[in-house]
């Protein structure tokens, strides 16, 4: 087991959780503290400004309501005097403006450098809203010239429940936010110092928990390697200390049980490992408690899926047997798991596990794969039946005609030659059948050798076609689609001649009147592909793969009438395979059949010959 890195260790996780908890707690406190502080500072600031503005509003309201004589100063002069004489205790107010409701003009300002706005109409929306709705309004914005935050307040001047004007105050608010920034800076510094101290304490505290756990981890690794002599150090009487004591007791018990079972385990493991047959063991209820690798492979299952499963379900016998029936079974059982086109047969032998008292502890099942044995036996029976059938037919015919001749038919000059001709044809057919069987027997023998030599296949193929061209019916035409290149292949000429003879003979037999047989040769990367195409009745798709089996005929009656033995294509397949090639057929029912076969071919050989 690989070493655990520090950042993945439980030590680091303890410290991280501890620090994060402290950090989150301080952040919650900080957010609440800063929020309340900011609200308090801003509230005090606005309250101070509003108190000063209320005094100004009262004084300005009296002047705006007062009736003026000729000797009295004008309203603008009176307001200007009030603004100059205003209390200077609030240094945060930078400017105060007074606006008349009727004309919506500025009638006074406290800013000496901004006197040009007196007498002009106001454009501020906040002032217009105050004049129209008679409500106090305020907002905070940044001064575009200085970039400092400014708080503006618009307060209505009322007389007799009527808004006669408004006071517009501009106050510097940046000092409040500067104070907040200083406080936040102090708080963040304190938080960082607290986290560092917390992390140091967390490391020291976590070590008291992780040290015994680390010792137990090391002990577990040592135990996994088979060493039970090491013990875990006990640091205290708490839960972790009790866990360490329990771990040491467990180590001792494991050491005792391991030594007593190791011998038996080795014996059983050696037996099961070296067996080629599948072995399955069950408990007394018939549930699988052991299965070796060959058995799992034969049944195509995994150890995990079959453990504790009933053996009759694992073997697929639940419809025919019960577990009690298997306990009494003395004969072997054939298990057929064959699928379409894929035979797979097993033989199962059962042996009961019993105590001396007769109590049944379970069942041992041994599985043998007899698929190949059954396949060979089936092929042998089929071959004997086919040969017997093929020999019986001509022999029966010959016996009938010979008996007729013996009874006096030989005296009839018209019948006798016909009977003798039939007998001769059947004899030749039997000779061909025996010769084909001998040929297959030679091909099946282990000491069979090919007499190979380098041949220009195009010329060789062309010569074979010429021989058939001289003997074919005039109503069948040949088409040669051969490459102009020379393909030199290492073959046994006699055997490939027989392959071509068998395939071309079949094409001619099944070609209709006016039909055409096409011959082609093409080169691929490492082989040449030879094909013969006819325009016969074709072969159904469901049986096209069987035409290379021994004694198989698509149309048995017609094949016998044409003198076929059913072994021609089987012989061709054996010879092509012996040359390291492949043979197959493609067919369209009612339109014709094409037989392909390949022969090994190397481009370098062609270059050497050229």
- Whether 188 is in a domain gets the answer no
pLDDT at 49 over 70: yes
Which residues does 406 contact at the CB level (< 8 Å), separation at least 6?
Answer: none
Cα angle for residues 461, 466, 472 (degrees, 5° grid) = 120
For range 433-460, the mean pLDDT: 72
For range 122-146, the mean pLDDT: 84
pLDDT at 444 over 80: no
Give the pLDDT score at 559.
Answer: 46
- What are the backbone dihedrals phi and psi of residue 192, each rounded to the nearest 5 degrees, phi first? -60, -45
The highest-confidence range among 32-46, 58-72, 382-396, 585-599, by mean pLDDT, is 585-599
- Whether 6 is in a domain gets the answer no
**522 to 525, 528, 530, 602: CA distances (angstroms):** 10, 6, 7, 13
Tell me which residue of 510, 525, 505, 502 sits closest to 598, measured CA to CA: 525
Q: If pLDDT is split at 50, 70 and 90, which confidence band does 8 have? A: low
CATH code (residue 104)? 3.30.450.20
pLDDT at 561 over 50: no
Give the pLDDT score at 413.
Answer: 72
CATH code (residue 395)? 1.10.287.130
**241 to 160, 163, 213, 217, 234: CA distances (angstroms):** 86, 83, 10, 14, 5
Give pLDDT tens digits for 241-296.
777 788 788 877 877 777 777 777 777 777 766 777 888 888 888 888 888 888 88
Q: If pLDDT is split at 50, 70 and 90, which confidence band does 100 have? A: confident
- Whether 343 is in a domain gets the answer yes
Final residue of a structural domain among 241, 271, 301: 271
Final residue of a structural domain among 389, 409, 444: 444
Give the pLDDT score at 533.
Answer: 92
Same domain, 467 and 562: yes
Q: If pLDDT is split at 50, 70 and 90, which confidence band does 606 have? A: very low
For range 208-230, the mean pLDDT: 73
Same domain, 243 and 344: no
Worst-scoring range by mean pLDDT, 203-217, 433-447, 476-490, 514-528? Answer: 433-447
**145 to 110, 117, 243: CA distances (angstroms):** 20, 18, 72
Cα angle for residues 523, 524, 526 (degrees, 5° grid) = 110
CATH code (residue 559)? 3.30.565.10
Q: If pLDDT is split at 50, 70 and 90, which confidence band does 603 have? A: low
**Helix axis angle, 493-509 to 568-578, nearest 10°:** 150
For range 33-59, the mean pLDDT: 83
| Residue in the structure block whose two tokens are 């510097």 | 172
More reliable by pLDDT, 403 or 448: 403
Q: For the chain, how many residues are written?
A: 610
Worst-scoring range by mean pLDDT, 104-113, 115-124, 367-376, 593-602? Answer: 367-376
Same domain, 425 and 343: no
Give the pLDDT score at 507.
Answer: 87
Per-residue burial over 498-527, b if 16 or more Cβ lie within 10 Å, else e, is bbbbbbbebbbbbbeeebebbbbbeeeeeb
- Whether 197 is in a domain gets the answer no
pLDDT at 125 over 80: yes
What is the DSSP-derived secondary structure letter of residue 471?
H
Q: What is the mean pLDDT of the chain?
A: 79
Same domain, 21 and 161: yes
Give the pLDDT score at 354.
Answer: 80
**What 3 state SS string does 133-178 have?**
HCCCEEEEEECCCCCCEEEEEEEEEECCCCEEEEEEEEEECHHHHH
What is the DSSP-derived secondary structure letter of residue 287?
B
Give the pLDDT score at 597.
Answer: 92
- What are the backbone dihedrals phi and psi of residue 409, each rounded to the nearest 5 degrees, phi first? -70, -20
Q: Could you tell me the residue range of the domain that residue 382 belongs to?
A: 375-444
Same domain, 436 and 541: no
Give the pLDDT score at 386.
Answer: 63
Same domain, 567 and 538: yes
Same domain, 251 and 266: yes
Count of C-beta atoms within a 10 Å radius of residue 184: 15
pLDDT at 610 over 50: no
The percentage of the chain sitting over the pLDDT mark of 70, rounded to a whole number, equals 84
The percentage of the chain sitting over the pLDDT mark of 90, rounded to a whole number, equals 3
What is the DSSP-derived secondary structure letter of residue 121?
B
Looking at the structure of the chain, the number of domains it has is 5
What is the DSSP-derived secondary structure letter of residue 342?
B
Q: How far apart are CA 152 and CA 50, in angstroms?
A: 11
More reliable by pLDDT, 574 or 377: 574
Same domain, 231 and 354: no
Q: If pLDDT is split at 50, 70 and 90, which confidence band does 176 have? A: confident
More reliable by pLDDT, 289 or 427: 289
Give pLDDT tens digits for 144-168.
877 888 888 888 888 877 888 888 8
Q: How far apart are CA 306 and CA 375, in angstroms?
A: 29
Per-residue burial over 168-183, b if 16 or more Cβ lie within 10 Å, else e, is bbbbbbbebeeeeeee
pLDDT at 320 over 80: yes
Tell me which residue of 374, 355, 363 sits closest to 312, measured CA to CA: 363
Give the pLDDT score at 599.
Answer: 92
pLDDT at 588 over 80: yes
H/E element holding 572? helix 568-578
Give the pLDDT score at 9.
Answer: 66
Same domain, 87 and 142: yes
pLDDT at 457 over 70: yes
Same domain, 359 and 422: no
Helix (H), strand (E) counts: the chain: 16, 17
Same domain, 484 and 544: yes
Same domain, 287 and 310: yes
The alpha carbon torsion through 406, 411, 415, 418 (nearest 10 deg) reads: 70
């Amino acid at each position: 087991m690989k070493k655990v890195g520090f950042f993945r260790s439980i030590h680091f996780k303890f410290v991280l959780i501890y620090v994060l908890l402290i950090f989150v707690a301080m952040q919650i406190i900080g957010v609440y503290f800063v929020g309340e502080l900011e609200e308090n500072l801003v509230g005090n600031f606005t309250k101070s400004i509003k108190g000063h503005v209320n005094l100004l509003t009262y004084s300005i309201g009296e002047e705006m309501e007062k009736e003026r004589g000729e000797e009295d100063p004008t309203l603008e002069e009176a307001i200007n005097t009030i603004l100059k004489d205003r209390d200077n205790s609030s240094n945060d107010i930078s400017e105060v403006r007074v606006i008349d409701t009727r004309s919506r003009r500025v009638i006074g300002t406290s800013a000496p450098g901004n006197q040009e706005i007196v007498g002009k109409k106001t454009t501020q929306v906040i002032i217009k809203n105050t004049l129209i709705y008679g409500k106090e309004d305020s907002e905070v914005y940044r001064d575009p010239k200085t970039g400092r935050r400014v708080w503006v307040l618009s307060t209505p001047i009322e007389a007799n429940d009527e808004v006669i004007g408004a006071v517009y105050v501009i106050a510097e608010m940046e000092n409040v936010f500067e104070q907040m920034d200083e406080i936040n800076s102090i708080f963040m510094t304190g938080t960082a110092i607290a986290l560092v101290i917390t992390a140091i304490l967390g490391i020291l505290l976590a070590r008291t928990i992780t040290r015994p756990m680390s010792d137990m981890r090391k002990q577990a690794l040592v135990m996994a390697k088979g060493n039970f002599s090491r013990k875990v150090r006990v640091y205290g009487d708490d839960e972790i200390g009790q866990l360490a004591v329990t771990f040491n007791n467990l180590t001792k018990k494991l050491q005792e049980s391991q030594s007593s079972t190791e011998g038996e385990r080795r014996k059983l493991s050696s037996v099961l490992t070296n067996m080629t047959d599948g072995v399955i063991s069950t408990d007394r209820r018939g549930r699988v408690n052991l299965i070796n690798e060959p058995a799992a492979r034969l049944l195509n299952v995994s150890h995990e899926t079959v453990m504790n499963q009933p053996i009759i379900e694992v073997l697929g016998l639940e419809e025919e047997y019960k577990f009690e029936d298997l306990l009494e079974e003395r004969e072997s059982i054939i298990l057929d798991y064959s699928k379409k086109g894929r035979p797979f047969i097993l033989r199962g032998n059962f042996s009961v596990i019993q105590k001396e008292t007769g109590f049944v502890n379970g069942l041992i099942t041994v599985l043998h794969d007899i698929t190949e044995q059954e396949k060979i036996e089936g092929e042998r029976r089929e071959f004997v039946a086919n040969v017997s059938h093929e020999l019986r037919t001509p022999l029966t015919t010959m016996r009938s005609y010979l008996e007729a001749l013996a009874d006096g038919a030989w005296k009839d000059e018209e019948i006798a030659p016909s009977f003798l001709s039939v007998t001769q044809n059947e004899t030749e057919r039997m000779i061909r059948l025996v010769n084909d069987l001998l040929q297959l027997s030679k091909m099946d023998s282990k000491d069979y050798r090919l007499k190979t030599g380098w041949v220009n296949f195009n010329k060789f193929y062309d010569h074979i076609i010429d021989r058939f061209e001289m003997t074919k019916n005039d109503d069948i035409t040949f088409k040669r689609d051969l490459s102009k290149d020379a393909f030199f292949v290492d073959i046994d000429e006699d055997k490939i001649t027989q392959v071509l003879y068998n395939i071309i003979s079949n094409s001619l037999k099944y070609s209709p009147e006016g039909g055409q047989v096409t011959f082609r040769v093409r080169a691929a990367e490492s082989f040449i592909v030879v094909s013969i195409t006819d325009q016969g009745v074709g072969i159904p798709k469901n049986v096209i793969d069987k035409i290379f089996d021994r004694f198989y005929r698509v149309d048995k009656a017609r094949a016998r009438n044409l003198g076929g033995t059913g072994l021609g294509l089987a012989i061709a397949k054996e010879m092509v395979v012996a040359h390291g090639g492949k043979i197959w057929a493609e067919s369209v029912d009612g339109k014709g059949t094409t037989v392909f076969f390949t022969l090994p071919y190397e481009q370098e050989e062609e270059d050497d010959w050229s």
